[in-house]
Amino acid sequence: MIAIIDYGMGNLRSVQAGFDFIEVEAFITDDPEKIKEADGVILPGVGAFRDAISRLEDTGLGDAFRKAVESGKPCLGICLGLQLLFSESEEGGIYQGLDIIPGRVVRFSNQLKVPHMGWNQIDLKKPDAPIFKDIPDGSYMYFVHSYYVKPDDDSVIAATTEYGINFTSIIAKDNLYATQFHPEKSQKIGLRILRNFGELVRG
């Protein structure tokens, strides 16, 4: 069973619908105990970093996700769920993140149109990662974001995307994966990523 964390901010139904479409069982929960019992965990998210991290920490859901990652079970962050993994964000001030991945969340240059919205390509840096099974290099994914992540350690970068700069669009570290784009909105290729995650959960 895959738990989709409900902390009051996120594209929960569309993520669940994506798993329903590929016939992988996933449920939405705001109960830390159910997250502990799940075989895989997803941290989705849309909206402001400050509000999201506050809700995660106030509800204990942030700690539940940290423990899920530490336990070794497959975990996946989506969009804001990627950014929340990092040490801090400069969105609306400086705010501490979950600090699972050392690094910062920064804004695109004012010279670029923000948000970065629409279809863009991914350049695979770890093509052998299981999350990329049957995902061709250069695949198009659907993005909506004004901030991007800058990991301290480049070894976690699994894919990049060009938008004025080459920014990190996927990270992969052991059992933890996260995407800046929305796989559930990225049609067949995006759903393949969700299917690959489901296969990791099934083992």
Model pLDDT for residues 85-116, shown as the tens digit of each residue: 999 999 999 999 999 999 999 999 989 999 99
pLDDT in tens, 42-53: 999 999 999 999
Residue 182 among the catalytic residues: yes
Burial of 109 (0-12, 13-18, 19+ CB in 10 A): exposed
184 included as an active-site residue: yes
Catalytic residue among 23, 75, 79, 90: 79
Q: Is 75 a catalytic residue?
A: no
pTM assigned to the model: 0.96
Radius of gyration of the chain (CA): 15
Supply 72's token pair: 């070794």
33, 75, 184, 199: the catalytic one is 184
Q: Which domains does the chain have, with CATH numbers?
A: 2-202 (3.40.50.880)
